Amino acid sequence: MRAIVVRQYGGPENLEIADVPTPEPGTGEILIKVAAAGVNPVDAAVRAGYFGGRLGDRPTTGFGWDVAGTVESTGNGVTEFGHGDNVIALLNAAAVELGTYAEYVVVPANAAAFAPSSVEAPAAATLPLNALTADQALDLLALEPGQTVLVTGAAGGVGGYVVPLANRRGLRVVATAAPADELAVRGFGADVFVPRTESLADAVRNAVPGGVDGAVDAAQIGVAALDAVRDGGRFIAVTDPSTPEPARGITVSKVDIQPDGQRLAELAQLVDAGELTLRVATTVPFADAAEAHRLLEKGGLRGRIVLVP
C-alpha cells in the first residue's frame, strides 16, 4: 500500500509517498481502509521533528491522527465492528512508522466509533482529534454548571468544539476570536464574544467582573489568557509551549489527549443531532500531502484540510 512518511525531519518537501506492507490487525484491533484523513497542526510538528529530532530505530515516521473509512478486517476479540462498517478513529501518532496518511491503517477497536451518518467521510475525519481534545479539556477543567469559561481561539479547530460542548455542560461561555468570526462563534453557542485584542484580560474582565472561573486556551495565548482567570480558578493549555506558570492560586494543566471510542461515538451522535458543526476548509489529494502541509502552515483557513484518495 501507499503511505506518506518522512525519512528525515524538516519541511513539507520531506514528505514522500512510500510503498509499505499493508498492516494486519492484531488482537483487539481493526484495519481501516482510509477514505479521509484530517491534517492537523500536530502533523506539522511531527514532520519538523518536534517530538524527536531523529528517527532512531524507525526507518520512517508516518503522519495523521484522524481517520474516516471502512473496516477492512478485524483482529481476534473484536465484536463491535465488522467488514464494511463506516468508522472514525483517533490514532495517537506522535511517533509511529505509519499514521492515517495511508491507504490502510490499524487502530485499536476501542479507539474507533461508527461514523456520523449525516456527513461524508471528509467531514467525519475532522472530528476525532479536535473534538476529543475539546471534550477532555473540559473534563480536566471540571467546572460546575453556571460557572464561566473563557475559550480562546473559539473559531479554530479545537475552540470551535469547546464552545458548544461547554454550553452543553451548562457553562457560561466567554469566547474570543477575530472580529470577523463573531457570527460563527455565537452560532456555536458563545454567551459573550470578546474580539481578539492585545488587552485580552482587561476585555474579559470588563465583561466578567472579577474574571472567569476557568479558561481553555485553544489559541495558545498563555499568560494573557491566564490573567483573565479569577484567583483560584483553573486554566487548561492545549500544547506544552503555551502552558504558563501557575499564579494567584490558579490550577494550570495541559490536555494529554487519549483515544476514547465510547466518547467519540457520543460526539458522532451530537453531529447527527446537529449540535456539533464539522468544517472542512478544503480537500487535497493524498499524493499532494506536501501541498496540504504548506496550506496548513500558511494559515488563515477556517476548518480542517483533509486528505482524500
* 15-39 per-position pLDDT tens digit: 999 999 999 999 999 999 999 999 9
Task: Tell me yes or no: is domain 130-254 CATH 3.40.50.720.
Answer: yes
State residue 212's pLDDT score.
Answer: 98
Burial (CB count within 10 angstroms: exposed 0-12, middle 13-18, buried 19+), residue 100: buried
Higher local confidence (pLDDT), 79 or 197: 79
Query: Which CATH number does the domain 2-127+278-308 belong to among 3.40.50.300, 3.90.180.10, 3.40.50.2300, 3.40.50.20?
Result: 3.90.180.10
Calpha distance 213→182 (Å, rounded): 22
CA distance from start to end of the chain: 12
Mean pLDDT score, 221-245: 91
State residue 48's pLDDT score.
Answer: 87
Mean pLDDT score, 95-113: 92
What is the domain partition of the chain in residue ranges? 2-127+278-308, 130-254
Q: How far is the CA of 12 from the CAs of 43, 62, 298, 300, in angstroms? A: 10, 13, 12, 18
Mean pLDDT score, 284-288: 96
Burial (CB count within 10 angstroms: exposed 0-12, middle 13-18, buried 19+), residue 144: exposed
Mean pLDDT score, 279-304: 93
Burial (CB count within 10 angstroms: exposed 0-12, middle 13-18, buried 19+), residue 210: exposed
Pairing of strands 2-6, 61-62: antiparallel
Residue 210: pLDDT over 60: yes
Which of 173-187, 198-212, 234-248, 267-281 has the weakest average pLDDT?
Answer: 234-248
Mean pLDDT score, 225-244: 91
Domain 2-127+278-308 and domain 130-254, same fold? Reply is: no
Q: How far is CA 96 from the centre of its chain?
A: 18
State residue 95's pLDDT score.
Answer: 61
Calpha distance 213→234 (Å, rounded): 7
> What cell numbers appear for 258 in the block?
487519549
Residue 172: pLDDT over 60: yes
> Could you report the per-residue pLDDT of 53-83, keeping only the tens digit for each?
555 566 778 899 999 999 999 999 999 999 9
Mean pLDDT score, 134-163: 97
> Could you report the per-residue pLDDT of 78-95, keeping only the tens digit for each?
999 999 999 999 998 666
